Amino acid sequence: MYPLLDENKTNYLTDCLEREWDKKIHKRGDDVLKPSLNIVLAQFVWKTVLTTGVLVTIEEVCKIVTPLFVSRLVTYFSVESDITTQDAYVCASVIVLLTIVANAVHHPFYYFSQLLGMNVRVACSGLIYRKALKLSSIALTKTTVGQAVNLLSNDVNRFDQVFSYMHFIWIAPLQLVVVTALLWQQLGPSCLAGVSIILLMILIQAKFGALFSKYREKTAKLTDERIRFMNEIIAGMRVIKIREISKILKSTFLRGSTFAFFFTTTSLASFATFVVYSLAGNALTARKVYLAIPLYNVLRLDAGLFLPIGIMMVTESIVSLRRIKEFLMLEELVNEEDNNNRHNSRDGEVKVENVSASWNHIDGKTSANMVLKNISLNIKGGEILAVVGPVGCGKSSLLMAIMGEMSDIIGDVMVPTRLAYTSQLPCIFAGTIRENIVFGKPYEKEKFDDVIKICALNEDLEVLPKREETLVGERGVKLSGGQKARIGLARAVYMDMDVYLLDDPLSAVDAHVGKHLFNVCIRNKLKDKACILVTHQLQYLDNVNKILVMKDGQVAGYGTYNELQSSGIDFASLLKAQEPENDEFGSHHLQRNESKETKSLGDSPCSLQSIQPKLKEENEEETKRVGNISANVYSRYFTAGGTVWFLILFCIINVAVQSLLNTTDWWLSYWVFNEETAQEEFYLVNSNYTADRSTLEFNSNWYIYIFSALTGVLILLNFLRTLTSFTIAVNASENLHNEMFQAIVRAPIRFFDINPVGRILNRFAKDIGYMDDLLPMTLADFVQVALMVIGIVITVAIFNPFIFIVVVPLGLIFIWLRRYYLQTSRDIKRMEGITRSPAFSHLSATLNGLHTLRAFKVQQSFVQTFENHQDQHSQAWYLFLASSRYFGICLDWLVGTFIAVVTFGSVLLSDVSNLNSGYVGLSLSYALSLMCDFQWGVRQSAELENLMTSTERVIEFTDVAPEAPLESNLKPASDWPKDGLITFEDVSLAYYDGGPTVLKNLHCCIKSREKVGVAGRTGAGKSSLMTALLRLAEPTGKILIDGVSIEELGLHNLRKNISIIPQDPVIFTGSLRRNLDPFEEHTETDLWKALEEVELKTTVSEFSEKMDTQINEGGTNLSVGQRQLLCLARAILRQTRILIIDEATANVDIRTDQLIQYTIRKKFNQCTVLTIAHRLNTIMDSDRILILDQGCIVEFDKPFLLLQKENGILTKMVSESGRKEAAKLLSIAKEKHYSNNL
């Protein structure tokens, strides 16, 4: 691909549009009127629009003048014509010259119009992205990732074509006036019959344009929902039903009606004009008829097609502009310089004075919606403030307030401008580990290696295929939770800021690594920085300078550890006193040689990439197919559109319509010739032209009856053809969408590991959008025009067989030219499809990590990345645009040659062949219509194949190999599993065929109702055990549950009987009720009881809409702990006999941790529970602990017995946690052991 010119680059275009938009915003001030994006765009495009207006005017003038010379040339072939042969050659020359001029301006007009459309699309996309970076917290609740992606994928695409058709909104009415005047001169008042038909068509199309706008807006909203649901499905893999097709169906049939009207406009107008003219007692002549037909053809194209398309494009663009403006008008985050509550602190001090804050707007100084109330704190450089408190007390909101992310703040915040932030759920972007850590700053190897060591990432990088150059995938899918947390912390350390806001980075790692991070990283590396640490790890509190205890958004305690212990507040119930620990981590400055190896004990890997050493890295680049669109793609498309009999009916109707059209035109020429001949004979018999014409014996009624019947059947069959064509297209789009949706939902987990969200969303947004909007029109257009061209060539050749001498070589040239063009355009179109995805992925990732981006002030870097993605797509789009225009120019020269041959050939053969005026007029009118129809039809055939690449891409995802069947012949008993007995017999697991084995020959038995902890170091295979049990990847060997082999069960029967509480809670947009009970299987009482069990009943009761409270996208209006409790309540409602817990307590406080553990023991007492451990204290009171190492079971026994092994793996893991923690863990195991033996 070639580099873009500066004026076509995203940065330049967005700057220009943003400058004009900002002028409107600032000019508005306090005015009630909102700024108009339409006016801003008008100022942006008016010069180019004026230029293209001049070009299209020249072309349309040529098209109107040409029929005048055609009419005169036809007169040459009439009986007793007074036109000389020299005059005939002059007319033929003018016709060819006008054709050349029209061709010369036609393609520059479309080139500049489409280039302008591309520039507007790019500028609006850049403006949308820049706006996304500024959205406030309130604005983020009013929009979704799905809506933003839809704006970028569908709405801005309306601008690509609108400038090509908008001129016809004013050109068509002017043409109508000029054509009416010319026809009045020749046909008198009779022409008003045909013109009335044209006017009626315009009015109907205008009405359709309004309906397009209505359905477009409804469809866009439904598409927003569909893309948002798909985004959540990809993230959480749950089944959501999608409903959008009804609005698309109505919109598509409106488009079909447009094409039906277009095709029959000339026939209807000609029929009305000539029948009225004949019934009025006038004689039809070739001169009059073949002046009217080419002029009606011009109106048919401009008024019958381009005008309604222009109206449709403009109305849809207005809707898109309205939606874009609504997005641009969303509230922005207040700039630091404009924020009166935030002040710059130059000495690295953080000072918060009487701060109250809300995520919503506050009308006064007090609000029931305030999440922070009268918070005050003061931290100097070199101090650590620990923020603790129960779930939902406002800890994370405090950090947001300090960063200025909350909507309304009362009070004062003094903070340095240079601050670093790590989020509770680490924000990992697609790219390499190095890119995620360096985050736009220059790479310094020594500094980078030091950060890697400080953040305990050395050993993790050793097992990754390319160390820090390893691609982590969308949202870090190839990393474990602990690795994500440490990369987020490493990013903050590498940035070397003045203040560090750390939102619970220690929960996702085990005790040993957590201690290393706290002492080596936070206390040592950041010893000169002001650090605010939100944590649930109470064992570190005696080593921080100050502690802030929060409850219900207020300060429950503030001071040093000793001050809080000696104070009168109930601090002891929240924070258990920690005895001083004399181990290697006791001193403030840790010696380097005391932590030569820091091992991550319990990070649970999320994918194969993070758990196997030295694996070959997956290629994440999207594949591009080459060569022709296979016949199988067309076959799949049409079979998805209808049955075999329906397709046969479609073919028959198409051939019948074209045959009727050619027959109707031939009948008109036959009628004209016979009447003209009868008239000439009448005047010859009467020897003068003054005889009374009423005595002429010519029965035109018979001709009118046949003409009327042919026209009526033609119109009826044409609408039937349009109906069948668009029915096939809509059915194909709907069925292939549903097939792809089912394939994605049924795809194995590995599919989502190697395909980013943006790539999948691109299939559902852009490719399905093309199949809904463009492919039906293009398919119908191609079929109609292709048959029309074939009919024209055959008809002309019948009247003038010598034309075949030229048609054959022209046809061969055309075939070669089309094949040559398609080889290029097809691959360009595929490349264009591939280069679309990164922009969507980048926008989605940006919105998900918006707080992190703004905290580090790397917005400009992300804007540059987005603009690079846009420019890559623009390069492919420009190639497609330029190549298609060049192809059109070549085709027009072929058609120009054909017109010249027909025109001059008719004159040359007039003496040697019996050419009458009717046949010549028909041939010339056909040849002129071919000038537009042929090149349009061929370009549409190429466009059809290019659009079929979208179908090819959709079919590619429908063919994704699915998981095992949901149902099988083996149906377990209704109460299965009754006991929850799990047996592994020689079980091994690889995530894909030929992949490395991650579980190796497992033999063990988990007893009924037994509570088993699963532990091991990073890469041991802990999560792979869950993968095998749920058959997310198919294991070998046998896994039996209550004696039933899970391999023989359908996945539905297996998975519905196993509950999972994941580490990262999966929450969907919608009501709280829907999140708890998505399939409406439980009563209201059951739902409230489940919430009470997890102590969320009081919180939910305080919501104004109670159980119907709407949850934001990703559950952002709930704290992470509340989301986790919601998942626990969901598991309680399911009441299964087997529960798998993937460290559900990593992101909650100690009290909530105890609540969850208590609830699990109480509500799942009769269940078999497998707990994948990140922290040993979570599983030390289990009945047994299973230790994995490199995919093998190395220990499996009661925890107390395992701790008796001096060199045991569990013993080593416990001893590495520190002397005091080890004693505590041993005590728990001992107490559990002896209580079970009583």
Residue-wise pLDDT for 994-1028, tens only, equals: 777 888 888 888 888 888 888 876 667 777 888 88
Q: Is pLDDT above 70 for 612?
A: no
pLDDT digits (tens, 9 = 90+) for 1100-1117: 887 777 888 877 766 767
pLDDT at 595: 32
Higher pLDDT pick, 305 / 599: 305
Handedness of CA 875, 878, 884, 890 (dihedral sign): negative
pLDDT average, residue stretch 112-120: 90
Report residue 519's pLDDT band, with 50, 70 and 90 as the boundaries: confident
pLDDT-derived band at 221 (thresholds 50, 70, 90) equals low
Mean pLDDT, residues 490-504 = 88
Q: What 3-state DSSP class applies to 549?
A: strand
CA distance 1058 to 318: 50
* pLDDT tens string 455-475: 888 887 877 777 888 877 666
Structural tokens at position 430: 């697609």
- The amino acid at residue 882 is A
DSSP annotation of 1059 reads E
**Picking from 233-237, 320-324, 943-947, 1135-1139, which range would have the lowest pLDDT averaged per residue?**
233-237
Phi (first) and psi of residue 305, to 5 degrees:
-125, -60
Pairwise CA distance, residues 701 & 755, whole Å: 69
Task: Provide CB contacts within 8 A for 1005, sequence distance 6+.
Answer: 981, 982, 983, 984
* Interval 903-916 mean pLDDT: 70
Taking only the tens place, the pLDDT of each residue in 175-207 is 888 888 888 888 888 888 888 887 877 777 666
Q: What is the secondary structure of 400-464 as a DSSP string?
A: HHHHT-SSEEEEEEEE-S-EEEE-SS----SSBHHHHHHTTSPP-HHHHHHHHHHTT-HHHHHHS
Distance CA(856)–CA(495), nearest Å, equals 8
What pLDDT was estimated at residue 714? 87
Q: Is the predicted pLDDT of residue 647 greater than 80, yes or no? A: yes
CA distance 1124 to 1112: 15
542: number of CA atoms within 13 Å, CB side?
Answer: 13
CA gap 1152, 1160 in Å, rounded? 12
Cα–Cα dist 124/92, whole Å:
48
Angle at Cα 851 formed by Cα 845 and Cα 856, nearest 5°? 100
How many alpha carbons lie under 13 Å from residue 745 in its C-beta half-sphere?
19
Is residue 395 within 8 Å of residue 549, measured between CB atoms? no
**What pLDDT band is residue 243 in, cutting at 50, 70 and 90?**
very low
Confidence of residue 58 (pLDDT cuts 50, 70, 90): very high
Listed in sequence order, the DSSP H helices in 464-502 are: 481-495
345 close to 398: Cβ distance less than 8 angstroms? no
- Angle subtended at Cα 302 by Cα 297 and Cα 304, rounded to the nearest 5 degrees: 75
Q: CA torsion angle for 1044, 1047, 1051, 1052 (degrees, to 10)?
A: -20
Q: Which tokens sit at 907?
A: 């004159």
The pair of three-digit structure tokens given for residue 486, joined into one six-digit string: 């440490």
The H or E element spanning position 679 is helix 644-685
> Contact, 679 vs 698, CB < 8 A?
yes
* Maximal CA-CA distance, the chain: 135
Report the chain's C-alpha Rg in angstroms.
38
Percent of the chain with pLDDT over 90: 1
Among 619-633, 1011-1025, 1085-1099, the minimum mean pLDDT is found in 619-633
Cα–Cα distances (Å) from 972 to 391, 1002, 1046, 1050, 1057, in that order, read: 40, 25, 10, 10, 11
pLDDT in the model for residue 482: 77
Please name the residue that has the structure tokens 């016709």.
95
Q: For a pLDDT cut of 70, what percent of the chain falls above it?
A: 82
Q: Hey, what are 727's tokens?
A: 């029915």
Tell me how far CA of residue 1117 lies from CA of 140, 369, 425, 1176, 1221, in angstroms.
Answer: 11, 12, 14, 31, 35
Distances (CA, A) of 9 to 3, 15, 38, 45: 9, 10, 22, 16
pLDDT at 54: 92
CA atoms within 13 A on the CB side of 74: 29
Span of 230-234, 245-249, 591-595, 892-896 with lowest mean pLDDT: 591-595
Distances (CA, A) of 583 to 301, 577, 1189, 1216: 87, 18, 27, 10
Cα distance between residue 112 and residue 164, in whole Å: 9
Residues 636-651, mean pLDDT to the nearest whole number: 86
Pairwise CA distance, residues 139 & 135, whole Å: 6
> What's the pLDDT at 55?
92
DSSP 909-936: TTTTS---HHHHHHHHHHHHHHHHHHHH
- Sequence length of the chain is 1238
**In this structure, are residues 66 and 93 in contact, taking their beta carbons and an 8 Å threshold?**
no
Tell me the two tokens of residue 1139.
């529960």
* Residue 437, number of CB atoms within 10 A of its CB: 25
**Average confidence (pLDDT) over 410-435:** 83
Cite the DSSP H helix spans in 996-1083: 1022-1030, 1051-1055, 1072-1076
Q: Are 633 and 955 in contact (CB under 8 A)?
A: yes
Say how far apart CA 866 and CA 862 lie, in whole Å.
6
Residue 583's pLDDT band (cuts 50, 70, 90): very low
Cβ distance 1139 to 1170 under 8 Å?
yes
Q: Are strands 1036-1041 and 1044-1045 parallel, antiparallel or unpaired?
A: antiparallel
For residues 1140 and 1059, the answer to whether their CB atoms sit within 8 Å is yes
SS (H, E, C) 73-101: HHHCCCCCCCCCHHHHHHHHHHHHHHHHH
CB 1167 within 8 A of CB 1009: yes
- Mean confidence (pLDDT) of the chain: 77
Average pLDDT rounded to a whole number, residues 590-601 = 32
In degrees and rounded to multiples of 5, residue 1057 shows phi and psi of: -100, 10
Q: Quick one: CA torsion of 117, 118, 121, 126, rounded to 10 degrees?
A: -140
Residue 1194 above 80 pLDDT?
A: yes
Q: pTM of the prediction?
A: 0.69
In 909-1018, which ranges are continuous DSSP H helix? 917-958
Q: What is the DSSP pairing of strand 982-990 with strand 997-1006?
A: antiparallel
Judge contact between 887 and 937, C-beta under 8 A: no
Taking residues 1104-1131, report their average pLDDT. 77
Cβ(408)–Cβ(360) below 8 Å: yes
Task: Count CA atoms closer than 13 A to 416's CA, side-chain side.
Answer: 21
pLDDT at residue 407 is higher than 50: yes
Highest mean pLDDT pick, 106-110, 272-276, 357-361: 106-110
* CA gap 645, 638 in Å, rounded: 12
Of residues 1024, 996, 944, 965, the one with CA closest to residue 1193: 1024
Q: What's the pLDDT score for residue 255? A: 63
- Phi, psi angle pair for 1196, to nearest 5°: -155, 100
| Paired tokens of 368 | 């029931």
